């Protein structure tokens, strides 16, 4: 197989997969843009979901500096976890802080946990896992300032590039994005293989 053929095969790995990205103002934009680009390159359909209305703008940030604005593609009130194969939770300080005040957003995350579908949270993104009741007894990582909050919620926190616990993927910061993306890809591929083979007899 040629390198071009290998690339094409990789590009379609996630064909038919739908991934939700839940975020609002204050999102660390590279933690949205890079996973989205990566997933779309592999054939997935990505939807920007927010507690804002469809068509409104989400203000991205580069650390503390305002960056680009991104159009909301679906209001979280209209989103159903059953319609998606995975959930991505980017960081940025203000973004998850606001999502924690959105009961619809927390319910959306909680339902993903109940559906046992892949959830990938990076940087400050894992903060919302606490409110959704998904941090207790889980092995996670995050931006260092969240470690005490996560431990208080019953999580086992470690300072690692990427941590995979079941179908929960967590990372610490933008520098970890390559490992974060690869781990999410593996989770989606594993889920796809499990779905195609069906329950074992």
Set 42, 63, 124, 139: catalytic member? 124
Which residue in 31, 15, 12 sits closest to 23, CA to CA? 31
DSSP tally for the chain: helices H, then strands E: 7, 12
Tokens 């053929």 -> residue: 5
CA distances, 164 to each of 12, 19, 66, 156, 158 (Å): 24, 18, 31, 12, 11
Neighbours of 29 (CB within 10 A): 24
Told to judge if 42 belongs to the known catalytic residues of this protein, a careful annotator would answer no
Both structure tokens of 43: 């054939």
Told to judge if 123 belongs to the known catalytic residues of this protein, a careful annotator would answer yes
Helix (H) or strand (E) holding 191: helix 177-197
**What φ, ψ does residue 111 adopt, rounded to 5°?**
-65, -35
Catalytic residues: 123-124
């Amino acid at each position: 197989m040629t390198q071009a053929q290998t690339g094409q095969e990789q590009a379609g790995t996630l064909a038919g997969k739908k991934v939700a990205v839940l975020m609002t103002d204050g999102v660390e934009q590279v933690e949205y843009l890079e996973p989205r680009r990566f997933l779309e390159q592999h054939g997935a359909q990505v939807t920007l979901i927010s507690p804002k209305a469809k068509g409104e703008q989400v203000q991205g940030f580069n650390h503390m500096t305002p960056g680009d604005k991104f159009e909301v593609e679906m209001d979280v009130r209209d989103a159903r976890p059953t319609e998606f194969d995975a959930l991505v939770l980017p960081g940025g300080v203000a973004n998850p802080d606001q999502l924690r005040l959105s009961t619809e957003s927390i319910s959306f995350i909680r339902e993903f946990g109940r559906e046992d579908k892949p959830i990938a949270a990076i940087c400050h993104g894992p903060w919302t896992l606490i409110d959704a009741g998904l941090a207790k007894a889980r092995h996670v990582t995050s931006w260092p300032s969240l470690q005490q909050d996560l431990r208080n919620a019953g999580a086992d926190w470690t300072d690692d590039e990427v941590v995979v616990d079941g179908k929960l993927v967590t990372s610490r910061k933008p520098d970890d994005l390559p490992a974060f993306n690869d781990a999410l890809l593996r989770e989606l591929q594993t889920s796809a293989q499990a779905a195609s083979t069906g329950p074992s007899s």
